[in-house]
Structure 1
């Protein structure tokens, strides 16, 4: 008969297999570049925090709208007098005395309830505050767009960097295979007495020099994938594989500096944000000036009050009183704070104008640098492609000559090193060019 302990043990073992076995492992996530960017826009933690700023700005707009909406309040007050309330002017004063007579009467327990309503009719601060809040929300959205562009560019660069590292690793493995074959040939020729021992030592050194590079590239790929996962906003334990491959960029027309500058000036959300900040400071001036103007409101109140002895409110009278009217509030003196706020708003407006002008001038330098980098990397990529083709042809020729015994092992080793170097330089040029394209998109405000 199977015991309860055996059944419990089997159940725990099955649960452990389910949780920690192959079925319990997180599945590898396959990502294209487009999918990586899309996931980052949805799940990046920095963008989520920026999205909360937009919600905060929306709530601030509701706060500003409340300046034009009615307000209502319900208040109540209870008071217990240890002696009867005092009322002056009742009774007769003593002869020759200037004292005002008083009397005590009423209930020791008093209760008052009032409903008050106020509707602003003229509030000069309402419109500037609402306009300022609206502009602040637009500025917050522009700031969110800036972060989205930066995150998109970072994801593209990281994804591209991993692809380049994979290609470098592939080239290093190809070079290792060639050098291992060369080492085998050198050992065979040395055993036959047809080669020198120094050729074998040189081939062995070349093989061993490649092994640390391969290890370094593998670690760099792991770190790059972790950076990509962090940018996307996924769990750090999630494994990913990249589905896109590194392709040679097609021939394209390089943009002109003037066209790039105009596009950037029109589309850059950070420049739009600076423009909005200047408009916000203008509304800040109007708001500061509005605090010096009177506020007119319609007011009304409905009130119930009673007095009783020994808390007998149910047997007491509950007379009501109500009124409606207009209220005008005129600020006369506030310790010069309004003047200081007006000056402060004007200084903020002046500052925002300086910052905006400086941003436009900085953009000219940034555009020139981006266009120059794009032109330089494109030409270098074309040159390195020719060098790579030439190095491959040279290696093929030298390898054929070596097999025929016409050339030396040293010449073949040099040709192999030149081929590997040319391939790696071409990869670097492609990466630099594609990175320059990404930076161009970021500069002009493309997502």
Structure 2
């Protein structure tokens, strides 16, 4: 009994856990963007690159600070150390050189060293390059964030568009099912042709197939959205926003400010400017290898030798010094010249790429602005089209019920109404997506 009770408890716990994992979660677009900012793997990887660049800057800052170290060693000699000296110095006039055993068999040596760079153009330019690279990584993160906002928003709006299409298909299906019932009833009464019933049946089956296809697209799009925002595939989510026109229109003021330098906010333009500055810094860094390096150096040393290990009786004479150390490069096999030429070519390449990206950005903004204005005009026309299609369908349906219109005319009116509503929905979707594209092109799309 006790075993069965334990199994029951475990089963109940697993059922509760499974239910919690599969609980429905409502997500708005703002919440989806928040999840993406926190959980997206690509963004996390880029932030690690940004942190690595920051640590590299701190590392090179440390190269400009004093270096202090302690080292020590102990050696036991089986035979005493020897030095070579003229024989006359050792009392052996017959030998020009003799070896003389010196020192103790146990030696101790410890040293405190100090070094402070005073003049090092290479180190200074390396630090500047690292700081520029850190700024490049920061702009790369901003660029990736803007791209992520764009991708998440597009996926979110795409799912909403598919939802709207499914709803429109279902509404059309309901109308066609009613028409199918009516045509079957009229056919049984001898008031309609069999072709009307067949036409309705075909329309119903086509709508069922279309709805099934849209539901499959919805599942795939939802899976892609979950991957972007870092949600488990098993998690059930429901999008709470509706596909409607964004009336905030914060891009209109941005368009007016375009010629006032708004384009400079784009992370990709900022990043390319920093890459160009980094290339110039690398040229100076290569040129700095020709310059001398001057450092302040010093040391304090203690040493002792004896034949025993009675450390208390040791004498520890000290040696200390403080001085300047200079290193002057003379010849490096033309390696420095080659590095300078390489980095100079990189500068020219970066400058051309910056000009190219700036020109493309201007063309992109004008193009998106034109598409946006066209979509807004199209929306006004389609609002009137939907109203007209609804009135046309109502009139045609009434005429068909009274035997004054054919089934073909009713089908045409129903198709026209569905297409009008679908075109209106797609235009609202296009406006929202184009607005996002314009915000991104102007550099104002952020979390």
* Pairwise same-fold verdict (TM > 0.5): yes
- Give the match for residue 90 of structure 2: 91
Equivalent pair of 1:67/1:123 in contact (CA under 8 Å): no
- Give the match for residue 382 of structure 1: 380
- Structure 1 distance, partners of 2:246, 2:400, is 35
- Structure 2 distance, partners of 1:72, 1:177, is 84
Equivalent pair of 1:72/1:117 in contact (CA under 8 Å): yes
- Give the match for residue 398 of structure 1: 396
- Structure 1 distance, partners of 2:265, 2:254, is 17
- How do 1:319-334 residues align onto structure 2 when only pairs under 5 Å count? 319-334=317-332
Equivalent pair of 2:36/2:228 in contact (CA under 8 Å): yes
- Give the match for residue 79 of structure 1: 75
With over 3 angstroms needed to count, the CA separation of the structure-2 counterparts of 1:39 and 1:292, relative to structure 1, is same
Deviation at 1:445, TM superposition (A): 0.8
- Give the match for residue 216 of structure 1: 213
- Give the match for residue 241 of structure 2: 244
- Structure 1 distance, partners of 2:294, 2:424, is 75
Question: Alignment partner for residue 105 of structure 2, among 88, 99, 108?
Answer: 108
- Give the match for residue 182 of structure 1: 179
Q: For each residue in 1:320-365, what CA deviation from the matched residue of structure 2 results, as whole angstroms up to 9, or x when unmatched? A: 2222222222222222222222222222222211111111122232
Q: Secondary structure at the match of 1:334?
A: coil
- Give the match for residue 416 of structure 2: 418
With over 3 angstroms needed to count, the CA separation of the structure-2 counterparts of 1:235 and 1:435, relative to structure 1, is same
Deviation at 1:257, TM superposition (A): 7.1
Question: Alignment partner for residue 291 of structure 1, among 289, 292, 306?
Answer: 289
With over 3 angstroms needed to count, the CA separation of the structure-2 counterparts of 1:32 and 1:257, relative to structure 1, is closer
Equivalent pair of 2:243/2:429 in contact (CA under 8 Å): no
Query: What's the Cα RMSD here?
Result: 2.3
- Give the match for residue 145 of structure 2: 148
- Give the match for residue 8 of structure 1: 6
Bigger shift: residues 176-185 or 68-77: 68-77
TM-score normalised by structure 2 residue count: 0.92
Q: For each residue in 1:8-59, what CA deviation from the matched residue of structure 2 results, as whole angstroms up to 9, or x when unmatched? A: 3333333333333x3x333322122222222222222211111112211111
With over 3 angstroms needed to count, the CA separation of the structure-2 counterparts of 1:266 and 1:185, relative to structure 1, is same
With over 3 angstroms needed to count, the CA separation of the structure-2 counterparts of 1:160 and 1:14, relative to structure 1, is closer
Equivalent pair of 2:105/2:307 in contact (CA under 8 Å): yes
Question: Alignment partner for residue 369 of structure 1, among 361, 367, 373?
Answer: 367
Q: How many residues align?
A: 441
Equivalent pair of 1:92/1:101 in contact (CA under 8 Å): no
| Residue 242 of structure 2 corresponds to residue 232 of structure 1 | no
Unaligned runs of 5+ in 1: none
Question: Alignment partner for residue 65 of structure 2, among 65, 69, 94?
Answer: 69
Deviation at 1:380, TM superposition (A): 2.5
